[in-house]
Structure 1
Amino acid sequence: MSWYLAVLKNYAGFSGRARRKEYWMYTLFNIIALAVLLGISVAVDTTIPYLIYVVAVIIPSLAVLVRRLHDTGRSGWWILLGVVPFGGIVLLVFSCLEGSNEVNEYGANPKLAPQGV
């Protein structure tokens, strides 16, 4: 849960790097929250809580994916692969790859930096 909150604290931070754990823990809690809100929306026969949450997490979700791409040494513009057929599969593979161990143009290795989490 602390990884999820850390990403939300850095709401629109597209610079820097995000390690795999940060990205996947955020994604896990995001999916759980989406499932709970979808269940609530179905139970009360309205999609308003679900849609509000989806709109609220678009920017942090994009930001953490861009930082994850930075960790693998790729530009955030690779995120545009998501709009072409099967591009999401490529983004999934990139998000599963281990980040570069050395300092790259996007910053130091986040595994070596002290985490407050």
Structure 2
Amino acid sequence: MGSYFDGMLRYFELSGRSTRMQYWMFFLIQFVLLVLAVVADYQLGGFAHPKYPQAPLTLFVIFVHAVPAITVSVRRLHDIGKSGAWYLLNFVPFGGVVLLFWACCASEPGRNIYDDTEPSRYEPRGGRPARQAQTTIPRAVRMGSGATRPPSPTYDGLSAPERFI
């Protein structure tokens, strides 16, 4: 249950990693809740009229879990060292098969470029070294670093007409 609640509490969080256990437990509990909602809607007569089915509980479960399902999948891709953009394979025929295979793969050991600032407490078994962060932006210039801007020889701190920004 903790893995499910972790996925729900990190509702809009695309950064970081989700382990295999977190990913599969989230989807298992989501599937069980969806089956229970369909059964409850059926018992309440929601599917009695085939032309106009009414399934409010099923729609509620789907809407509540739509965003967390995407974010958990993106974080799972980060955990194996892939970009979250690979999630778009869901829109390609048979792309979901590739994502299913990747969801079953072991985590990338140690830290990787998608880790948060604090190290992950999860350390999988294996001997692959973690990839280094690939960026051309110096750490002092990155947004959110809190560091001051490096001095520029052409900028004296006042507004200059030749300066664009």
What TM-score, normalized to structure 1? 0.91
Structure 1 counterpart of 2:6: 6
Unpaired segments ≥5 residues, structure 1: 113-117
| Distance in 2 between residues matched to 1:89 and 1:39, nearest whole Å | 28
1:58 and 2:66 equivalent?
A: yes
One-letter code aligned to 2:70 = L
Cα RMSD (Å) of the superposition?
1.1
Shift of 1:7: 1.1
Give the direction of change, closer, same or farther, for the CA distance of 1:110–1:66 in structure 2 (3 Å limit).
farther
1:34 and 2:42 equivalent?
A: no
Write the deviation string for residues 39-66 of structure 1: whole angstroms up to 9, x where unpaired: 1111111311111110111110100000
Unpaired segments ≥5 residues, structure 2: 47-53, 124-165
1:111 and 2:122 equivalent?
A: yes
| Distance in 1 between residues matched to 2:68 and 2:21, nearest whole Å | 16
Shift of 1:109: 4.5
> How many equivalent pairs are there?
112
Higher helix share: 1
Structure 2 counterpart of 1:77: 85
- C-alpha contact (below 8 Å) 1:103/1:109 kept by paired residues: yes
Structure 1 counterpart of 2:108: 100
| Distance in 2 between residues matched to 1:75 and 1:94, nearest whole Å | 12
Shift of 1:87: 0.5
Structure of greater Rg? 2
Structure 2 counterpart of 1:115: none
Q: Larger relative CO (CA 8 A, sep 6+): 1 or 2?
A: 1
- C-alpha contact (below 8 Å) 1:72/1:100 kept by paired residues: yes
What TM-score, normalized to structure 2? 0.65
- C-alpha contact (below 8 Å) 1:19/1:68 kept by paired residues: yes
| Distance in 2 between residues matched to 1:9 and 1:111, nearest whole Å | 19
| Distance in 2 between residues matched to 1:98 and 1:38, nearest whole Å | 33
